[in-house]
Amino acid sequence: RQIEGSYRATTHQIHTNHLLSTNYNLRHLPARSERSSSTMSLTNEADAYFAENPAPPSLATAKKQLDDFISTHVAQNRRVVLITSGGTTVPLERNTVRFLDNFSAGTRGACSAEYFLKAGYAVVFLHRQWSLLPFARHYTHSRNFFLGHMSETADGGIEIEDDYAKTLLPILRAYKKTQKEGTLLMIPFTTVSEYLHLLREAAMSMRPVGANGVFYLAAAVSDFFVPSSEMSEHKIQSGDADSMATPVTGAPRGKTLNLHLSPTPKFLHHLISTWAPTPALVVSFKLETDPGILLAKAKQALRRYGHRLVIGNLLKTRSWEVVFVENGQGGKEEDERWKEDWIRLEGGEKGKGEIEALIIPEVVRRHEGMMKEVAGSNGNG
Ligand code: PAZ
């Protein structure tokens, strides 16, 4: 999960990263003037993206799983939520040795999936491979290592400490119920390209769900990527890099690497306007590190894409506070239309429980409100 030694980039670090200002061009990189994405319309931009960046070989299987799963639950008139979870990678080579990654562990997505299941939804869980999974997260990524609570019995069986068994029992019950009802479909991705191909197929599969559907887009998606045509086929060799002089002193400072990254297409625009133009509730997440711009960025997303709800969060406080930003579409002045509701875990950082236990009921409440509106406007309300 690293490139070159100890460097670990997040999508949000890329702007300021010294890699961008250094001076090594990946081979096969066409001149900037040959790249035309800035002049394309958004639709052409998406078409060009999917034409240029090949679909993962597993896409056809995933599509069949999605269609089967969704049609089963549509037939039962069950609500369906599509959750995206975890970070996407940006490979630097086609035979990938190195890639950019980001911080997301998939906690928000995995945890939210359990609460949506509890609320009766069927869950499509598009997640970064090896990130946190619903149910498994309670023991795979816990510092309270599960084997420490088990011992071997005289007859070769396994005994679990009473207290630990009590903690696991509700999780086991919820998992068994989910299995019995077939309400969880998990599909993994790794790269940003795999993610976008999967999201497009999943969004189109969601169409028949209509107003019973929710898109809950919690994945941390790379804003920039290296297009397939510009990627080195094999592992980038340090010998291919330019020797650089240190600015000001001119002293040699060895080989340096300079990456040119292209902007990832604005997938939310495509999801809302083309892939899934259904009355489903679309909830996107906005992560920032600067508290001063969080609300403005959430509103910008709502204005730009025209969906219903953005959940804003800050890197440092995301596990105990979030803000729901909604475009009420009622007032005359732009500022009067915004509704901002902070949701906080009691006790803050040291609070007990999970903030998703508060987030999901609130999303469900808003989803139900929207379903009533849709039924009303169809004359069924
Ligand atoms: O996966 P995690 O629990 O560590 O983090 C969740 C999150 C911060 C990635 C998510 O809540 C979020 O804000 N996703 C959108 C990120 C973005 O603005 O690109």
Query: Residues 264-277: pLDDT tens digits?
Result: 999 999 999 999 98
Burial class (CB in 10 A: 0-12, 13-18, 19+), 267: buried
Q: Could you list the residue range(s) of the whole structural domain that residue 192 is in?
A: 59-223+263-279
Predicted pLDDT at 184: 98
Q: Write the ipTM.
A: 0.99
Q: What is the CATH number of the domain that holds 154?
A: 3.40.50.10300
Cα–Cα distance measured from residue 278 to residue 281, given in angstroms and rounded to the nearest whole number:
9
Note whether residue 209 is domain-resident: yes
Q: Which protein residue's CA is at the shortest distance from atom 5 of ligand 1?
A: 104
Note whether residue 372 is domain-resident: no
Q: For a substitution probing ligand 1, which of 313, 319, 323, 358 has the most ligand atoms within 8 Å of its CB? A: 313
Q: Give Cα separations from 94 to 99, 102, 136, 148, 234 (angstroms).
A: 10, 19, 32, 41, 6
User: How much of the chain, in percent, has pLDDT values that exceed 70?
Assistant: 82
> Of 237-241, 284-288, 350-354, which range is least confident?
237-241
Q: 200 C-alpha to center of ligand 1: Å?
A: 20
DSSP character for 89? Answer: B
166, 213, 200: which is closest to 55 by C-alpha? 200
Q: Examine the pLDDT at 34 and tell me if it is beyond 50.
A: no
Using one digit for the tens of pLDDT, what is the confidence trace for 224-273? 999 988 999 999 987 766 655 666 666 666 677 888 999 999 999 999 99
CA geometry: angle 104, 198, 212, nearest 5 deg: 90
Would you say 252 and 181 are in contact if contact means Cβ atoms under 8 Å apart? no
Note whether residue 371 is domain-resident: no
Number of other residues whose CB lies within 10 A of the CB of residue 139: 16
Q: Is the CB of 285 under 6 A from ligand 1?
A: yes
The structure tokens listed for 260 are: 């040119």
Note whether residue 230 is domain-resident: no
Cα–Cα distance measured from residue 269 to residue 276, given in angstroms and rounded to the nearest whole number:
10
Q: For a substitution probing ligand 1, which of 104, 111, 195, 307 has the most ligand atoms within 8 Å of its CB? A: 104
Note whether residue 150 is domain-resident: yes
Note whether residue 160 is domain-resident: yes
pLDDT-derived band at 381, boundaries 50, 70, 90: low
Q: Which residue has the tokens 């040795």?
A: 97
Would you say 98 and 108 are in contact if contact means Cβ atoms under 8 Å apart? no
Structural domain total, the chain: 1
Q: Is the CB of 88 under 6 A from ligand 1?
A: no
3-class secondary-structure state, position 113: helix
Note whether residue 151 is domain-resident: yes
Residue 158 sits at φ, ψ, to 5 deg, of -125, 135
Q: Which protein residue's CA is at the shortest distance from atom 14 of ligand 1?
A: 218
Q: Is the CB of 106 under 6 A from ligand 1?
A: yes
